[in-house]
């Protein structure tokens, strides 16, 4: 009986120990995702480079696929221009050094000078680097039907 109580208490304590670690990782990757959202509205090459991996696979709702170079290039030259970008219904799941973020995105755009509106469901895959920072590895969007 005493062993059962000890094991039960040990389980509760070890579960409580891991919760702050998971929450800290969720907070860290959520912060990186928010930095990316800000960079997409007001982009800088250095800021974007700090947030995405060299092997980035960035899928658009149109089916077009960007690399890191084309993703950053389009934002910097205004081919992709987010005037506003709002994130809703975000979920974060961290498993080891990988995080999956899903959210709904609504934005006003001015791509190449052409005003528009977009509503998307987005999946992002983030990878934690050796230095502890989170970087975007992959992203895929699908349009929300009106």
The CATH number assigned to the domain holding 57 equals 3.10.450.50
Q: What is the average per-residue pLDDT within 36-60?
A: 98
pLDDT category at 24 given cuts 50, 70, 90 is low
The confidence score (pLDDT) of residue 6 equals 40
Contact 78, 110 (CB under 8 A): yes
Number of domains in the chain: 1
Of 6-10, 74-78, 99-103, which gets the smallest average pLDDT? 6-10
pLDDT category at 145 given cuts 50, 70, 90 is confident
Distance CA 24, CA 139 (A): 22
**Domain range spanning residue 90?**
2-143
Contact 110, 85 (CB under 8 A): no
Sheet holding 98-111, edge to edge: 65-66, 52-59, 134-143, 114-128, 98-111, 82-95
Residue 14 has pLDDT above 90, yes or no: no
Secondary structure class of 42 (helix, strand, coil)? coil
Residue 42 has pLDDT above 50, yes or no: yes
pLDDT category at 20 given cuts 50, 70, 90 is very low
Residue 16 has pLDDT above 60, yes or no: no
pLDDT category at 27 given cuts 50, 70, 90 is confident
């Amino acid at each position: 009986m005493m062993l059962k109580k000890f094991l039960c208490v040990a389980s509760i304590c070890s579960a409580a120990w891991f919760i702050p670690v998971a929450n800290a990782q969720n907070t860290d990757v959520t912060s990186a995702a928010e930095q990316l959202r800000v960079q997409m509205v007001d982009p800088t090459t250095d800021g974007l480079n700090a947030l995405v991996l060299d092997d980035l696979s960035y899928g658009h709702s149109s089916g077009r696929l960007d690399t890191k170079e084309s993703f950053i290039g389009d934002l910097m030259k205004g081919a992709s221009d987010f005037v506003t970008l709002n994130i809703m219904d975000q979920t974060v799941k961290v498993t080891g050094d990988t995080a999956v973020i899903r959210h709904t995105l609504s934005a006003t755009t001015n791509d190449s000078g052409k005003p528009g509106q977009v509503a998307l469901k987005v999946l992002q895959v983030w990878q934690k680097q050796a230095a502890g920072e989170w970087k975007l590895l992959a992203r895929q969007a699908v349009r929300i039907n009106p």
